[in-house]
């Protein structure tokens, strides 16, 4: 480029300014989007705080942190105006060089000496309009366009295009929000994982099946007759649908997909735009819906769904559907409608409870001297197997202390003993997270250990450690007994588990009962209560009547502390008749 041609410099400069304007526009768009996104988040947080652990909110957060954040992060990492910055740096090699600058400076110096001009007037002229801020620079542009063809103006432009543009470019190349991005990236590992999300989705499905709920009610926040006032969004519905589909439960997946598509249709344009940023394309839902319909032999419905979506890859599915239609009779598969299991009935509160469900209530004042001051409130639930419910045996503060101390150490998934592999393994039948605690862990545990000794009259010496458990969304524990079977016992020093004490560290407002289906006994967790039952009869044999389960949670988070008491330390406390 000729630095002696003012017109050429001006044209070049104009191109640069166009890039800068586009850059400023992109920044503004990004700011607007982030603003609207922050509003949505604030609303979500406020809603969740009002709702206190209702399942749609918990699930919504889990899904949001697992799925949306990577998209948001990706989006934030895209530097706005990256293309424009590249454009400027490409042009940059063509702009006036330091040598050009020196040359015009020498020219000016020659003019000054030849015409004997005043140095300070010239300096003023030279500095005119030299500003680094982008906004000022753009305002100045109009002025530059009208420059007259004289030496000061040549110099003005040469200096400006050589020096200032380099700074502007540097400014544009600075990664935006670097430290915030770093923070987001570092926090990622602590967000819910894909696995957590799948667990949550299947928990929602379990809740649906156990309590016989309809997705159309669930998405409105109506759960087993209780209105929770929160809703599922399109994205949340889709996440649940996809997890169910992966488990080949096509009937249920299709129902959730119908809800997904209907919610999407009702969403505003702004929401749909946000969904795009969050990586959701409604065709993904349509695609899965069509495939789900095909699994159910609902070919006509599949064709209708294909016709609604213009995406070419969905159109291509049409051939497959038509082929199948010709080779199979279009007889939609009926939804299998299995009768409710006893467990489903019981978890729903429809269990035919024994009339004498609560046998007696009493104050135990004698087991230890201090009980005269603070007797145990004891409710006898069953004589054989022996089972009692103690009320208010662990204080809210003790519960809170244990929960807070354990939270950082909770392991994903408590395990169960696998009979084939002969070792403890993760099991979809037990979805709680857990941590082992010893009685020496802290002052609360030491106190509890003494309390359990007094409550049960068992010897606590050498007895098993405690397990603190927490069930999440739809969390459950399948029916099981706590006593062991022979292969397990061979690995155990303390013998079988003679009794179990289950402390409830939190209330569970809906769902989550501990249920003994063979005894028709169901206990709703209430902070402060503890359930004690004997797993072995007085001949030391396992009592099959103690089969128990933890029903899926509907609302709340269930925290409990389990103590299994070993048999071999108890010969003087509970001699067995074997």
**Please, which of residues 465-524 interact with Fe ion by CB under 5 A?**
482
Interaction between residue 557 and ligand AKG (CB under 6 A): no
Q: How far apart are the first and last CA of the chain?
A: 104
Which three-class secondary structure string do you get for 145-192?
HCCCCCHHHHHHHHHHHHHHHHHHHHHHHCCCCHHHHHHHHHHHHHCC
The interface partner of residue 298, options being Fe ion, ligand AKG, none and the CB cut-off 5 to 8 Å by kind, is: none
Q: Which helix (DSSP H) or strand (DSSP E) does residue 449 occupy?
A: helix 443-456
Nearest approach, Cβ of 261 to Fe ion (angstroms)?
A: 41
Q: Is-cis flag, bond preceding 417, omega within 30?
A: no
The interface partner of residue 562, options being ligand AKG, Fe ion, none and the CB cut-off 5 to 8 Å by kind, is: ligand AKG
Interaction between residue 433 and ligand AKG (CB under 6 A): no
Mode of pairing for the β-strands spanning 466-471 and 433-437: antiparallel
Interaction between residue 533 and ligand AKG (CB under 6 A): no
The interface partner of residue 550, options being ligand AKG, Fe ion, none and the CB cut-off 5 to 8 Å by kind, is: ligand AKG
CA gap 368, 365 in Å, rounded: 7
Nearest approach, Cβ of 564 to Fe ion (angstroms)?
A: 8
Backbone phi and psi for residue 144, each to the nearest 5 degrees, phi listed first: -65, -35
The interface partner of residue 301, options being ligand AKG, Fe ion, none and the CB cut-off 5 to 8 Å by kind, is: none
CA gap 480, 549 in Å, rounded: 6
Interaction between residue 548 and ligand AKG (CB under 6 A): yes
Instruction: Figure out which of the listed residues 463, 514, 557, 570 binds ligand AKG, where binding follows CB under 6 A.
Output: 514
CA gap 55, 324 in Å, rounded: 39
Nearest approach, Cβ of 530 to ligand AKG (angstroms)?
A: 11
CA gap 391, 79 in Å, rounded: 59
Total site size for Fe ion, rule CB under 5 A: 1
CA gap 372, 366 in Å, rounded: 7
The 78-117 contact track toward Fe ion, x by CB under 5 A, reads: ----------------------------------------
Interaction between residue 476 and ligand AKG (CB under 6 A): no
CA gap 331, 301 in Å, rounded: 12
The interface partner of residue 141, options being ligand AKG, Fe ion, none and the CB cut-off 5 to 8 Å by kind, is: none
Nearer to ligand AKG, 154 or 564 (CB): 564
Nearest approach, Cβ of 543 to ligand AKG (angstroms)?
A: 14
Interaction between residue 274 and ligand AKG (CB under 6 A): no
Nearer to ligand AKG, 245 or 533 (CB): 533
Instruction: Figure out which of the listed residues 3, 560, 561, 565 binds ligand AKG, where binding follows CB under 6 A.
Output: 560
Interaction between residue 466 and ligand AKG (CB under 6 A): no
Total site size for ligand AKG, rule CB under 6 A: 9
Distance, CA of 64 to chain centre: 6
Distance, CA of 219 to chain centre: 17
Nearer to Fe ion, 482 or 529 (CB): 482
Burial class from Cβ neighbours inside 10 Å (0-12, 13-18, 19+) for residue 447 reads middle
CA gap 161, 10 in Å, rounded: 10
Instruction: Figure out which of the listed residues 477, 503, 516, 534 binds ligand AKG, where binding follows CB under 6 A.
Output: 477
Instruction: Figure out which of the listed residues 100, 482, 529, 567 binds ligand AKG, where binding follows CB under 6 A.
Output: 482
Cβ-based neighbours of 246, under 8 Å, separated by 6 or more: 198
The interface partner of residue 256, options being ligand AKG, Fe ion, none and the CB cut-off 5 to 8 Å by kind, is: none
Interaction between residue 54 and Fe ion (CB under 5 A): no
Nearest approach, Cβ of 503 to Fe ion (angstroms)?
A: 13
Instruction: Figure out which of the listed residues 207, 381, 521, 562 binds ligand AKG, where binding follows CB under 6 A.
Output: 562
What is the rounded radius of gyration, in angstroms, for the C-alpha atoms of the chain? 36
CA gap 253, 205 in Å, rounded: 10
Given the rule CB under 6 A, which residues bind ligand AKG?
Answer: 469, 477, 482, 502, 514, 548, 550, 560, 562
Given the rule CB under 5 A, which residues bind Fe ion?
Answer: 482
């Amino acid at each position: 480029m000729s630095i002696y041609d003012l017109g050429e410099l001006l044209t070049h400069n104009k191109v640069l300014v166009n890039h800068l304007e586009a850059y400023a526009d992109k920044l503004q768009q990004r700011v607007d989007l982030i603003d609207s996104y922050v509003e949505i988040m604030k609303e979500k947080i406020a809603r969740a705080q009002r709702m206190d652990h209702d399942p749609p909110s918990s699930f919504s957060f889990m899904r949001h942190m697992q799925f949306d954040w990577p998209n948001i992060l990706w989006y934030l990492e895209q530097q706005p105006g990256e293309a424009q910055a590249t454009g400027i740096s490409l042009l940059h090699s063509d702009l006036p060089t330091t040598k050009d600058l020196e040359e015009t400076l020498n020219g000016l110096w020659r003019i000054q000496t030849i015409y004997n001009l005043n140095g300070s007037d010239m300096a003023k002229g030279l500095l005119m309009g030299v500003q680094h801020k982008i906004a000022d620079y753009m305002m100045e542009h109009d002025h530059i366009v009208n420059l007259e063809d004289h030496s000061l103006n040549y110099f003005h432009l040469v200096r400006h295009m050589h020096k200032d543009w380099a700074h502007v470019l540097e400014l544009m190349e600075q990664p935006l929000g670097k430290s915030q991005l770093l923070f987001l990236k570092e926090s990622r590992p602590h967000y819910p994982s894909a696995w957590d999300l799948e667990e949550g989705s299947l928990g929602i499905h379990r809740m649906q099946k156990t309590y016989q709920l309809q997705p159309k009610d669930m998405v409105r926040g109506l759960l087993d007759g209780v209105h929770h006032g929160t809703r599922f969004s399109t994205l949340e519905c889709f996440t649940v649908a996809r997890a169910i589909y992966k488990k080949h439960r096509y009937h249920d997946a299709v129902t959730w997909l119908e809800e997904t598509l209907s919610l999407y249709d009702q969403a505003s344009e702004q929401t749909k735009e946000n969904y795009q940023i969050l990586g959701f394309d409604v065709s993904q839902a349509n695609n899965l819906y069509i495939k789900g319909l095909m699994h159910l032999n609902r070919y006509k419905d599949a064709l209708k769904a294909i016709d609604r979506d213009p995406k070419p890859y969905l159109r291509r599915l049409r051939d497959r559907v038509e082929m199948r239609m010709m080779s199979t009779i279009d007889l939609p598969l009926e939804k299998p409608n299995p009768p409710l299991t006893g467990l489903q009935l019981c978890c729903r509160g429809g269990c035919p409870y024994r009339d004498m469900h609560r046998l007696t209530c009493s104050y135990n004042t004698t087991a230890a001297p201090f009980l005269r001051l603070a007797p145990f409130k004891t409710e006898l639930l069953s004589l054989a197997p022996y089972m009692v419910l103690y009320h208010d045996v662990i204080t809210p503060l003790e519960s809170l202390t244990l929960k807070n101390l354990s939270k950082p150490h909770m392991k994903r998934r408590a395990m169960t003993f696998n009979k084939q592999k002969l070792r403890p393994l993760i099991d979809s039948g037990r979805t709680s997270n857990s941590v082992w605690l010893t009685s020496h862990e802290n002052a609360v545990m030491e106190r509890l250990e003494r309390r359990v000794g007094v409550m049960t009259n068992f010897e606590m010496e050498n007895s098993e450690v405690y397990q603190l458990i927490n069930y999440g969304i739809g969390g459950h524990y399948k029916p099981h007994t706590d006593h062991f079977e022979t292969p397990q016992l061979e690995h155990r020093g303390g013998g079988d588990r003679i009794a179990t004490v289950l402390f409830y560290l939190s209330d569970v407002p809906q769902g989550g009962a501990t249920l003994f289906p063979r005894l028709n006994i169901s206990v709703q967790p209430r902070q402060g209560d503890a359930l004690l039952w004997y797993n072995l009869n007085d001949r030391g044999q396992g009592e099959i009547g103690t089969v128990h389960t933890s029903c899926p949670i509907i609302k709340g988070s269930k925290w409990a502390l389990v103590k299994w008491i070993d048999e071999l330390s108890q010969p003087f406390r509970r001699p067995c008749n074997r």
